[in-house]
Amino acid sequence: MDEDIEARDARLKIITENLRLAMCASPELDMAFEPERAGAQSSTENPKRLPQEVIDLTTDHLNVLRSDLAELRASLAASGSIAHSSDEIEMLKQLVKKLQEDCLRAQEDRVSALLEYAKLQNERNDVSRDAIDKLEALRKENRKLKLDLANLKHKQDKEVEKGNKNRVGKEGRPKKRVRFELDTCPEEPKAQQPSYDPEYTRDPRLARPLARPPINRSGPFPDWGLNRSPRLCTPPPSKDANQS
């Protein structure tokens, strides 16, 4: 039993090697491997599968390869490998189809993302352009305001300088004297002169005779009216009273 398996494996390796060497020799190999595709392809439809080094195959070589392929197919069918391989091929086809669908979906998502990014980029460019325009307008307005402020300051400085010159000129010039002519000078009214009549100007206190100060008999020093005591202020007795 083991010898049969080893012989079959050796025979399978030989057939596989022969098949590998003559795979591109003629489309008849495809017809032998897949009879349902017979006549679907020809050597003129796919000339790349005909290498120059294996073109000179004879009919005997092809017959040998056909017999080997038939034997290989029979062996695979007996072991059930063909059905298993067909299921794997179908699964692989479905997997490839699913991968293609996923790839297409990913490409669509990528294209959508690129379109959205382009849209956002355009909006950003518009916003940046508007901001740049507004900033430029503000800069122009700022320059205009600075120029107006400089002109106003210059004008104020000139006015202040002019006022200082006028004030210095007025203080430095001598005052203008006004000369009055005789004809033009108005006569001022004369003030009423005071009366010097002695009757009106005499002080009534001067009409009385001046009283002599009393003689102080109490001491060697005369009293000039500083002692205001009642005893000293009594007038002396008159001469008429003494004679009587």
Q: What is the pLDDT of residues 145-191, one digit of tens each?
A: 999 999 999 998 888 888 877 776 665 555 555 555 555 555 565 55
How many other β-carbons are positioned within 10 Å of the β-carbon of residue 208? 7
Provide the residue ranges of all domains of the chain, joining segments of one domain with +.
Answer: 2-79, 95-165
136: left (phi over 0), alpha (psi -120 to 50) or beta: alpha
Q: Look at the block and give the residue holding tokens 């430029």.
A: 136
Mean pLDDT in residue range 222-240: 54
Mean pLDDT in residue range 25-49: 47
Which residues make Cβ contacts (< 8 Å) with residue 8, sequence separation at least 6? 75
Among 89, 68, 86, 83, smallest CA distance to 23 is for 68
Sign of CA dihedral 64, 65, 66, 70: positive
pLDDT in tens, 97-147: 888 888 888 889 999 999 999 999 999 999 999 999 999 999 999 999 999
227 in Cβ contact with 216 (< 8 Å): yes
